[in-house]
Amino acid sequence: MAIGSRREILGGLGAGIMLAGAGACASATSSRKIGYAIVGLGSYATRQIMPNFAGCDHARLVALVSGTPAKLDQYGAQYGIPATHRYSYADYDRIRDNPDIDAVYVVLPNAMHAEYSIRAAQAGKHVMCEKPMATSVAECEAMIAACRKAGTKLMIGYRSRFEPYNRLAIELARGSHVGPTRFITAEHGFSIQPNQWRLDRPLSGGGSMMDIGIYSLNAARYLTGEEPVEVSAIESTDHSDPRFRTVEDRVSFVLRFPSGIVANCISSYSSGHNGYRVIGTEGWIDMEPATPYAGQAMTIRKDGVTAPRTLAAPAKNQFAGQLDHLAESILNGGTPIVPGEEGLADLRVIEAIYRSAAERVKIRLGA
Ligand code: NAD
C-alpha cells in the first residue's frame, strides 16, 4: 500500500477494522449501553479496565465479582455499583438473574479463565476473557463450545488490536509498505517480582511465555495475518532462582509462516523487552515500545530514509476501544475481531513451543 497522509491512513484503518469485524461496527449502534460485570478485582481490572468505562460509548460497568468483601465495598462505592450487583465467587452463578449484566469480563489468574468464562456463558452472558485465553488448547476449545451452545459472544482481551500504532503496523506490514515481509523480530519481557500467582504453575499454566511472550507470538501472527506452520524453541531457566521453581523464565522461539516469513521471538521474566520489527525487502517498520498501556513509538526505514511516524492521540484509548468493540458486536450481531478462536490459535502455538523446547525438536503445525 502506498503511504498517504495520516488522514488517509487512519481512514484506511477504520475501514480495515470494519471489514475485519464482519460488520461488528458497520451499522448504526443502538444507544443502549452494554452492561459488564468484572470478575476479579486485581491490578489490571481496577487500574486499567474499570477507569476506562468512562471513555466508552457503548459499554458501562454494572456489576462486580470478587472473593474479597472489602474490595466489593470499596469499588462498589467508587463506581456506584449497588449491593444487589456485587457478587462473591460463591454467588457468581446468580448473575443469570440480573438482566443488567449483558457481558462478563474475566480478569482472574489464567487457570481460572476457562471455568469462569464457561459459567458466564451458562448464565447466558457474553464473555470477554483476558489473555492468555486459558492454560491449554483443550480449555480454549471447551470455552468456545460453551459460548457457541449458549449463543453468546466470546472475545479475548488482545487490547493492542484497538491501539492505533499497532493497527497501522498491521496495515503497513500486510500491505508490503517496506516490501514483502521477510523477517519479524518480536521481544517481550520484564523482570518479575517474586511471590505471585504468575510464578505458581497451577494458577498461571506456565511462565513468561503464557504471560508476556504471548505478545511476541500474537504480534507475529497479526503482523503477518498468517498461522505458523513450523515452530522451534529453546528455553533457559535458572531453577535455583526462587522465582522459577515451577515456571519457565526465558524462551526464544522461531516461527515459519506459509508465505516463508520467519519470526524470531523472545519471551523473558528476567530481562526487559517490548518491541517488534517488521523487515521487508525495502526497509523496516520498528515499534518500540510496541504494546505498553500507552506511549507506542514507530520508526520506519524506507528508500534509505529513517523517520519516526507519529499519529494523533485517538479519541478513544485501546481499553475503551476493546470494551466498546465487544459491546458493538453484541448490539449489531457481529463477530469480534479477536474471538475465542484467536486465543485458541495462540495456545496451539504455545503448546508447540513448550513441546519443542522440552523435546528439542522442530514442531510442524496445522498438519
Ligand atoms: P492480579 O493478581 O492483580 O489480580 C488477580 C485477581 O484475581 C485478584 O483480584 C485476586 O484476588 C483474584 N483471585 C481470585 N482467585 C485467586 C487465586 N486463587 N489466586 C490468586 N488470585 C486470585 O493479576 P492481574 O495482573 O490483574 O492479572 C489478571 C489477568 O489479567 C491475568 O490473566 C493476566 O494475564 C491478565 N492481564 C492482562 C493485561 C493486558 O494488558 N491485557 C495486563 C495485566 C494482566
Q: Which residue has the higher pLDDT, 101 or 10?
A: 101
pLDDT computed for residue 366 by the predictor = 86
What is the distance in A from the centroid of ligand 1 to the CA of 112?
10
Is 31 exposed, middle or buried (CB count within 10 Å of its CB: 0-12, 13-18, 19+)? exposed
Does 27 have pLDDT greater than 70?
no
Summarize the confidence of residues 163-189 as an average pLDDT: 98
Catalytic residue among 33, 125, 131, 153: 131
What is the distance in A from the centroid of ligand 1 to the CA of 295?
23
Give the Cβ contact number of residue 264 at 10 Å.
17
Summarize the confidence of residues 297-301 as an average pLDDT: 98
- Residue 316: active-site member: no
pLDDT computed for residue 19 by the predictor = 32
- φ/ψ (deg, to 5) at 135: -105, 0
Residue 237 grid cell: 531457566
- Residue 354: active-site member: no
pLDDT computed for residue 28 by the predictor = 57
Q: Which residue has the higher pLDDT, 321 or 2?
A: 321
The closest residue, in CA terms, to atom 9 on ligand 1 is 42
Ligand 1 atom nearest the C-alpha of 197 is 20
Summarize the confidence of residues 125-147 as an average pLDDT: 99
Does 157 have pLDDT greater than 50?
yes
Residue carrying C-alpha cell 480478569: 107
Assess contact for 127 and 103: CB atoms under 8 A. Answer: yes
- φ/ψ (deg, to 5) at 226: -125, 165
Query: What is the CA angle 19-24-27, rounded to 5?
Result: 95
**Residue of 71, 89, 130, 326 best suited for mutating to test ligand 1, as the one with most atoms within 8 Å of CB:** 130
Residue carrying C-alpha cell 456485587: 86
Q: Going by C-beta distance under 8 Å and a sequence separation of 6 or more, which residues neighbour residue 61?
A: 35, 36, 38, 50, 53, 79, 81
pLDDT computed for residue 367 by the predictor = 58
Residue 236 grid cell: 533457559
The closest residue, in CA terms, to atom 42 on ligand 1 is 44
Strands 154-156 and 126-129: parallel
Residues in the ligand 1 pocket, defined by CB under 6 Å: 40-45, 67, 107-110, 130-131, 157, 159, 197, 203, 211
Assess contact for 107 and 66: CB atoms under 8 A. Answer: no
In DSSP terms, which residues pair with 253 in a beta bridge? 233, 265
pLDDT digits (tens, 9 = 90+) for 265-291: 999 999 999 999 999 999 999 999 999
What is the distance in A from the centroid of ligand 1 to the CA of 59?
21
| Of residues 182, 215, 346, 181, the one with CA closest to residue 288 | 215
Assess contact for 108 and 202: CB atoms under 8 A. Answer: no
Summarize the confidence of residues 36-53 as an average pLDDT: 98
**Residue 323 to residue 341: CA distance in whole angstroms:** 18
Residue 31 banded pLDDT, cuts 50, 70, 90:
confident
Tell me the helices (H) and strands (E) count for the chain, helix number first: 11, 15
**Structural domains present in the chain:** 6-159+320-336 (3.40.50.720), 164-312+347-364 (3.30.360.10)
The closest residue, in CA terms, to atom 11 on ligand 1 is 42
Strands 86-87 and 262-268: unpaired
**Residue 205 to residue 251: CA distance in whole angstroms:** 15
Ligand 1 atom nearest the C-alpha of 293 is 40
pTM for this predicted structure: 0.93
Ligand 1 atom nearest the C-alpha of 46 is 26
Residue 30 banded pLDDT, cuts 50, 70, 90:
confident
pLDDT averaged over the chain?
93
Catalytic residue among 36, 75, 165, 215: 215
pLDDT digits (tens, 9 = 90+) for 327-342: 999 999 999 999 999 9
